[in-house]
Structure 1
């Protein structure tokens, strides 16, 4: 996989699944099922102890898979995730220390923003694409439409509360490059180890119309 920058990675598919695994084995099964459905980019979060090992395992599943690390909340997590095989990082927020740690680790970062002040900080640090989080609670589509006026060049990956039904509305916005979501891995399917259902949902997500930009 040749994608190296966040700008390249977010264009590999309209939906980036946000994943939290109870075990490394579950992570491998789900990652394989998602890839079988055409999803090439995964965000495996550090919300569980299995996170780093799951990133390592998933990154070895296929040549065209791009595994990112999610829920980076501490600067030191950037180097750990990079060592585990993460190709990019996603954070719920942004500080100068986290920005510098990602730079030092060689880990492209998709930082989270929620307010205009957050956005201005991200722009000052040179970011052109950011994560809008938590998207739905923070105002959803109307908020992104409002951001487009004062920040016309900034692109967003909204994440948080987005569903299969609402994703197309977000993807239709001129400042949205992709969406993040957890609906591809429903708890019921994971509990039943129904990997075929995960693949079905992944295929449907992969077939969503990508932003025409």
Structure 2
């Protein structure tokens, strides 16, 4: 069993954290596998997916090469259910201190959502491993992240919202720990034409190109 530190290292190396939303459990599993085929192995299964906990169970059991986390987790009870099925990290669009506390007790990586400097510092002081900056795009994207990282370099942040293949390098240059990617990658409508796998490859190429330039 991987330690929390190993999980965090794997996520940092993978860089992409796709936010998996789907209209059915079956499509959620297909989306995850299509992205994995394109080289993306970290998946955040959101609780907005119907029967999301069963999706986590299926992917953990049948696709052990993937690193599965739970997203849109709003309370410790939901976190507990997801961890019981094998979720290795917990993500939320907002800061719920009880959830952060529970994940710390369980030694599970937790990425609460925050937006303002005060919220971000509060999340970090509560024990967040990484803070999800959401919605980053609505606040100015990479420029906003850069503004946050200047006084808070010690806090790891994953911007979500506004991340595309075209903006990926800007967010990484601004100091992102990783990139939360939503519908731009995990698009149900592109499942049948290979579009999800193709887009995943584009993202991985963008990350590789950024790292080679450094």
Q: Same fold per TM (> 0.5)? A: yes
1:20/1:47 contact within 8 Å kept: yes
1:88/1:108 contact within 8 Å kept: yes
1:14/1:205 contact within 8 Å kept: no
1:14/1:208 contact within 8 Å kept: no
TM-score normalised by the chain length of structure 1 = 0.88
Aligned to 1:184: 185
Rounded Cα–Cα distance in structure 2 between residues aligned with 1:63 and 1:17: 17
- 1:14 pairs with 2:15: yes
Aligned to 2:67: 66
Rounded Cα–Cα distance in structure 1 between residues aligned with 2:59 and 2:202: 21
1:11/1:177 contact within 8 Å kept: yes
Aligned to 2:124: 123
Aligned to 2:136: 135
2:168/2:207 contact within 8 Å kept: no
Rounded Cα–Cα distance in structure 1 between residues aligned with 2:69 and 2:60: 9
Offset from partner CA, 1:56-106 (integer Å, 9 cap, x none): 111223332100100111221110110122110101122321212223444
1:94/1:113 contact within 8 Å kept: yes
Rounded Cα–Cα distance in structure 2 between residues aligned with 1:123 and 1:157: 13
The number of equivalent residue pairs is: 209
Aligned to 2:113: 112
Q: Could you tell me how far 1:49 is from its partner in structure 2? A: 2.1
1:22/1:50 contact within 8 Å kept: no
Of 192, 197, 200, which residue of structure 1 is paired with 2:198?
A: 200
Aligned to 1:151: 152
Rounded Cα–Cα distance in structure 2 between residues aligned with 1:149 and 1:165: 23
Aligned to 1:80: 81
Q: Could you tell me how far 1:7 is from its partner in structure 2? A: 2.8
More helix by share: 2
Offset from partner CA, 1:5-42 (integer Å, 9 cap, x none): 35313213222111112222212222211111111100
Distance 1:57 1:95, change over 3 A: same
Gaps of 5+ in 2: none
Rounded Cα–Cα distance in structure 1 between residues aligned with 2:107 and 2:24: 27
TM-score normalised by the chain length of structure 2 = 0.88
2:113/2:133 contact within 8 Å kept: yes
- 1:165 pairs with 2:163: no
> Segments of 4+ in structure 1 off by > 4 A?
210-213
2:90/2:108 contact within 8 Å kept: yes
RMSD of equivalent CA atoms: 2.1
Rounded Cα–Cα distance in structure 2 between residues aligned with 1:3 and 1:176: 22
